[in-house]
Amino acid sequence: MSFSPTESLIGAVTLVLTTIGLPGLFALMTVESFGIPPLPSEIILPFAGFLVAEGVYGFVPAVVVALAGGLVGAFIAYAVGRWGRERILALGLGRLRLEQRHLDRMDRFFARRGEVTVAVARCLPVVRSYVSYPAGTARMNPVKFGLYTLAGSTPFAVGLIYAGTVLGADWSVVTNDLHYLDLVFLGLVVAGVAYLALVVAGVLRPRWLAREPPPEGPIPPSP
């Protein structure tokens, strides 16, 4: 008997939504937006749409609850990033270590493009669950963070819930191709572990870990 992470996730999501209803949808979307453990909204929202088609709850309440759960999870992740800003400088393994200049670079990026980055990322699978961490670390304005999180999440949630209502009992068509994600997930894990091992061993030297060149100036005379 083979084990499929995707089938297990689908089974867990359908169980929670059918037994708990809207509170379950809120809880699942909170976890999805927090990103730990990974819980794809591409499974949660279409099945929520199927339950809308079945008359379990309304379309608007489903959208509102999904967005509310996602916003709560996003702010939890934002708080973790902001609270852990200084602490991550003390963490590292070998050459795989963040430095103050990396945080300064992140601050500058989010100061210039934070709003667009958050809004666009919230429309992208996988990325949407983790953009809150760097936004918090970069101390993005929390009000703007919340507004742009909603701006990016709304079309994403509405589209997937609506797709579930249209498909009805065939909502699983949306997730049939997700079985291929098992192989993608395994490949990403293997590639990530191999990459980190090479960095720690010093075989690879990513540009973001490269140290700044020493400041230019007159060469001191030899004693």
**Domains in the chain: boundaries:** 5-177
Structure tokens at 148: 């742009």
Q: 98-112 in b/e burial notation, b at 16+ Cβ within 10 A?
A: beeeebeebbeebee
Section 177-198 average pLDDT = 56
**The pLDDT value given to residue 86:** 72
* Residue 49 clears pLDDT 80, i.e. is over it: yes
β 92-93/96-97 pair status: antiparallel
**Residue 216 pLDDT exceeds 50:** no
| Token pair for 160 | 């997937």
Instruction: Check: pTM over 0.75? Answer yes or no.
Output: no
Max mean pLDDT among 32-46, 147-161, 168-182, 208-222 falls in: 147-161
pLDDT in tens, 91-104: 655 555 666 777 78
Q: 48 near 157, Cβ under 8 Å?
A: no
Give pLDDT, residue 105: 81
Give Cα separations from 88 to 96, 104, 200 (angstroms). Answer: 12, 13, 17
Contact 52, 62 (CB under 8 A): yes
